[in-house]
Amino acid sequence: MFIKTQAIVLSSIKYNDTDLIVKCYTKALGSVSYMVKGVLKSRKGKFRASMFQALSIIDVEMQHRNKGQLEYFKEVQLSNHLNDLQSNVYKSALVMFLAEILKSVIIEEEQNEKLFDFIKTSILYLEHSSKYANFHIGFILDLSSFLGFYPRISNDEKEIYFNLSEGLFQSFETPYTLNKEQSNWFSILLKNGFKDHQQIKLTKNQRIEILNLIMRYYELHIENFKPPKSLKVIKQVF
């Protein structure tokens, strides 16, 4: 089956001395892994390794075999030139972190155009934004809505404790509830989309604490989820 679609690169792994295995999230097919032969050997070939950097947005053509094996590109072109994400060291750190998160949580080979559009819109926003210290926090919170466990916001003034296990606010404490201050930060963040999170003033320590709590939230709701290796870098940078 011949397919033309946009794709977002989640990872690229060196295979042998000349090839790459590239995992993408495609708009038409969901998660697909590709073999790109010879891309690390020749600069004169059809494809360049720079096309397959993390979170690159590409237009691809392929003959999709759908046999549970690695697929092959027929044509690849960059859809958007993400110069700032590649040259800005702070944004590059965010790209590494978000790509690891996405690779970890997107495992199904199913089409989900809304999720694809959310990721693409987020990438382009980050590329052009000058304020992004809270971006990763807003992104992974909003991402949970596509994964099926977005926290439930309460309008009941008595429900002031956020329960990480249940994903909701409640009026009493349990081993899984956050304290009042932590719950209040969750409430504030949840009432703002990631584009508005930059207006929320957080200290570095607060940002680290909230990020740790969100990672715990993911661990409770995604089987075998492990915080990405780049989490340590993000904590140092932001």
Please give the average per-residue pLDDT across 79-83, as a whole number.
95
The model's pLDDT over 210-232, given as tens digits with 9 standing for 90+, comes to 999 999 999 999 999 999 999 99
What pLDDT sits at residue 194?
65
SS3 assignment for the chain: CEEEEEEEEEEEEEECCCEEEEEEEECCCEEEEEEECCCCCCCCCCCCHHHHCCCCEEEEEEECCCCCCCECEEEEEECCCCHHHHHCHHHHHHHHHHHHHHHHHCCCCCCCHHHHHHHHHHHHHHHHCCCCCCHHHHHHHHHHHHHCCCCECCCCCCCCEEECCCCEEECCCCCCECCHHHHHHHHHHHCCCCCCHHHCCCCHHHHHHHHHHHHHHHHHHCCCCCCCCCHHHHHHHC
> Could you give the domains of the chain?
2-81 (2.40.50.140), 84-237 (1.20.1440.120)
The yes-or-no verdict on residue 44 having pLDDT over 80 is no
Please give the average per-residue pLDDT across 14-26, as a whole number.
95
The model's pLDDT over 146-199, given as tens digits with 9 standing for 90+, comes to 999 999 988 899 999 999 999 999 999 999 999 999 999 999 998 877 667 778
